[in-house]
Amino acid sequence: MIEQVGLVIILLTIMGSYLYATHRIAKLQKNYHNDERWQLLKLRAGNVTKIYYESLIIIIAVLTVILLWVPTPIMIPLDRMLVIGMVIIMGGQVVECFVIARLDKTM
């Protein structure tokens, strides 16, 4: 029961962060009217987000190779794997939002 409550809290937190990041990026795009500065911000944030996803791919590949050498199989429940996948995918949007906020202050 406690694990399910923890999963629900994690789901709600990441969903809220994702929706906030999506709303903030849309609001900034509307404020900047898609000018050259905004396009440069999006390009740089996209590069950081790409590095985030590439790093995740490398981590998953390394973990897969390590798990091939483990003598006993590791069983992970499907609901936990789905939550982890959701956190990883939505985390990219949150990372992009943080990068845009940081670059917006420095540029």
Q: How many domains does the chain have?
A: 1
- The whole-number pLDDT of residue 6 equals 87
User: Could you report the per-residue pLDDT of 6-63, keeping only the tens digit for each?
Assistant: 888 988 999 999 999 999 999 999 998 989 999 999 999 999 999 999 999 999 999 9
- The whole-number pLDDT of residue 17 equals 95
Look at residue 3 and tell me if it is in a domain. Answer: no
Host domain of residue 95: 42-107
Q: Are 35 and 104 in contact (CB under 8 A)?
A: no
Look at residue 14 and tell me if it is in a domain. Answer: no
- The token duo for 3 is 């694990």
* Predicted model pTM: 0.83
Q: Are 88 and 56 in contact (CB under 8 A)?
A: yes
- Please state, in angstroms and rounded to a whole number, the distance separating the CA atoms of residues 72 and 41: 47
Look at residue 69 and tell me if it is in a domain. Answer: yes
Look at residue 16 and tell me if it is in a domain. Answer: no
Look at residue 29 and tell me if it is in a domain. Answer: no
